[in-house]
Amino acid sequence: MTEQSPVEVMTDVMTKFTSYIGKRLPTDVKGKLADLRSKETNEMANVLFDSMAANQEAADKLNRPSCQDTGVIQYFITVGAKFPLLGELEEILRNATLGATKLGPLRHNAVEAFDEKNTGTNTGSRIPWLDWEIVPNEDSAIIDVYMAGGGCTLPGASTVLMPGQGYEGVADFVFDVVTSRGINACPPLLVGVGVSTSAETAARLSKKAILRPVDSRHPNANAAKMETLLEEGLNELGIGPQGLTGNSSVMGVNIESSARHPSTIGVAVSTGCWAHRRGRIKFNADLSYNILSHEGVTL
Amino acid sequence: MKKILTTPIKDEDLADLKIGDIVYLTGRLVTCRDVAHRRLIDQGRELPVDLKGGAIFHAGPIVKKNEAGEFEMVSIGPTTSMRMEKFEKQFIKETGVKLVIGKGGMGPETAEGCAEHKAVHAVFPGGCAVLAATQVERIEGAEWQDLGMPETMWINKVNEFGPLIISIDTKGNNLFEQNKARFNEKKGPILDRIKSQVGFIR
Ligand code: SF4
């Protein structure tokens, strides 16, 4: 056997990992769903939670994608400036998407805009979507893979409030999105909120927020308090699994924020469905890796 | 005890069902989504499958052919039913279909159609595509294959397919509409309480 080049090694791992996360939920999401299920007292909701658990068991056993909608593939990259394959990452992740599409198999979910043709490969202009953060002086790379399904992407919304609307306006916005469009996004949802300066910065942060563990909290005390208030408030609505009512509505609410212009509050919401398929993997400079999101994985 | 509907479904099988009831289906379940609806209603084409007393599923499955050349169901999850709202009332009328299965609720037109023609809409839990596939015993046919895999009308023999939560009953009651009203009612007081605690701008 000829030895694989570093690019081949990393492509191979990312192909398998991308395919893997479509079949098994991350440890935190799995734990949270089990927790919500154990606290559920509504009979119908319990039947639904049982079906969800049975589905994940069957997907694991039969080695199939757990939901037929394996989404558009997005990679959120936090990479050290000294990571040896920094310049090759784009090509590696594109090929990993191509490979995972065959390996999964993943549904073909990339429709080229304006041509309105499905590329049949899950790749297309700027897809897989790559989001970059470069860390000075580091030589490792952390990659979050996310499968953005249609149902859970649909509620996404972003706007810019006037400061007079305040954080009160942020709460209104989050509730409006979740109660109107979130219901069809396969709740219990993980709700990501971006509080920032403009529409697109808030939108990006809202997506980064749902990459954070479900029970994590914002480091700022006021933001953390708002996360808790929104989470408890949404749960009180009792949207329940599939919007069919129950004791919970969400797995959590995560806020990410940045400084803002004194005259604007950019706010956005991204939602993850109960089948929140994301994975986090860390590569060291020698391409040894740790999977941070899932326990006990062999790729 | 599990309530099981068997195709062909008769009016009296559905008469006592209420929104929120949970049932299972044994018999024939045909996938039918956007284009099949449009072909029948907009283009007036005849459906290649007789749906009288039947059940349809708003779903675009993943199917593979095994070594013996037979179709095998890999994954079959529900898709958003609301996309078919435009067509469903007429569809129920013309086909005599009794059970419409999908994801999320449907609107007032479908509710009207269900009440007039004694049909129901039910929800299969979203995201549970592998569970659903394991309840398909075999694929008995595939019509309109020219539409591609997701839109083909797959004729499935299913066994205790479910859980199916009745979201529109034969009286035209609509579970999702009622829930939405309930959520909206609760929302105001909860938001007031939250807002009183997030006045961070002073
Ligand atoms: S919202 Fe999520 S679980 Fe539901 S169908 Fe879409 S991808 Fe699957």
Q: The whole model's pTM is what?
A: 0.94
Q: What is the CATH number of the domain that holds A145?
A: 3.30.1330
| pLDDT tens-digit profile, chain B (202 residues) | 789 999 999 999 999 999 999 999 999 999 999 999 999 999 999 999 999 999 999 998 889 888 999 999 999 999 999 999 999 999 999 999 999 999 999 999 999 999 999 999 999 999 999 999 999 999 999 999 998 888 999 999 999 999 999 999 999 999 999 999 999 999 999 999 999 999 999 8
- The CA A22 to ligand 1 mean position distance, Å, reads 11
Which residue does chain B place closest to A228, by CA atoms? B194
For ligand 1, residues with CB inside 6 Å are A 67, 69, 149-152, 185-186, 273, 275; B 77, 126-127
* Cα three-residue angle A276-A131-A19, rounded to 5 degrees: 45
Is any Cβ of chain A less than 8 angstroms from the Cβ of B178? no
Cα A40 to chain center, whole Å? 25
Domain membership of residue A204 (yes or no) is yes
Half-sphere exposure of B55 (CA within 13 A, CB side): 30
**Spacing, Cα B181 to ligand 1 middle (Å):** 24
Residue A284 domain flag: yes
* Boundaries of every domain in chain B: 4-175
Nearest CA-CA partner of A210 in A254, A262, A265: A254
Nearest by Cα to B104 from B85, B82, B129: B82
Helix (H) or strand (E) holding A230: helix A221-237
Residues A117 and A199 grouped into a single domain: no
Positions of B annotated as catalytic residues are 37
Q: Which among A51, A151, A166 has the least Cβ separation from residue B131?
A: A51
A224 lies in some domain: yes
- Helix ranges, chain B (H): 11-14, 34-41, 85-95, 108-117, 129-134, 175-195
Residues A145 and A285 in one domain: yes
Name the 3-class secondary structure at A212. Answer: coil
CB count in 10 Å sphere of residue B162: 24
Kind of pairing between the strands at A278-283 and B120-123: unpaired
* Residue in B105, B175, B200 nearest the CB of A167: B200
> A109 lies in which domain range?
6-22+66-149+277-291
Q: B150-159 burial, b if ≥16 CB within 10 A, otherwise e?
A: bbbbbbbbbe
Question: Chain A within 8 Å of B1 (Cβ-Cβ)?
Answer: no
Same domain, A214 and A249: yes
Cβ atoms < 10 Å from Cβ of A296? 7
Q: Has residue A28 been placed in a domain?
A: no
**B82 contacts chain A (CB < 8 A):** yes
CA of A66 from ligand 1 middle (Å) equals: 10
Instruction: Please report the pLDDT score of residue A84 as a whole number.
Output: 98
- Out of 3.30.830.10, 1.10.3720.10, 3.20.130.10, 3.90.1170.10, the CATH code matching B4-175 is 3.20.130.10
Q: Based on the domain organization, do A17 and A97 belong to the same domain? A: yes
Q: B54 CA to chain A: closest CA distance, Å?
A: 24
> Does one domain contain both A242 and A94?
no
Q: Give the nearest partner residue to B191 out of A58, A172, A245, using CB atoms.
A: A172
Say if residue A141 is in the same domain as residue A283.
Answer: yes
Residue B58, both tokens: 């708003």
Q: Distance, in angstroms, between B182 CA and closest chain A CA? A: 8
**Residues 94-133, chain B: which have Cβ within 8 Å of A?**
103-105, 123, 125-131, 133
Within a domain: A1: no
Q: Does some domain include residue A90?
A: yes
Q: Are residues A157 and A145 in the same domain?
A: no
For chain A of 299 residues, list the mean pLDDT of each consecutive stretch of 10: 89 98 97 97 96 97 94 98 98 98 91 91 97 97 97 96 97 96 95 98 98 98 98 98 96 98 98 98 98 95
Q: Please answer yes or no on whether B187 and A179 come within 8 Å at the CB atom.
A: yes
Tell whether B147 is within 8 A of chain A (Cβ).
no
Clarify whether residues A84 and A132 are in a common domain.
yes
Residue A57 counted as domain residue: no
Do the Cβ atoms of A242 and B77 come within 8 Å? no
Asked whether residue A41 is domain-assigned, the answer is: no
How far is it, in rounded angstroms, from Cα A243 to Cα A239?
5
A150-167: string of b/e by CB count within 10 Å (b at 16+)? ebbbebbbbbbbeeebbb
Number of domains chain A contains: 2
Same domain, A88 and A174: no
Q: Do A243 and B104 touch (CB under 8 A)?
A: yes
Determine whether A116 is exposed, middle or buried from the number of CB atoms within 10 Å of its CB (0-12, 13-18, 19+): exposed
- Contacts across the A-B interface (CB distance below 8 Å): 143
pLDDT at position A117 is 87
In this prediction, residue A1 carries a pLDDT of 58
What does each C-alpha distance from A32 to A92, A274, B53 come to in angstroms? 32, 10, 41
C-alpha A11 to ligand 1 mean position (Å):
27
ipTM confidence score:
0.93
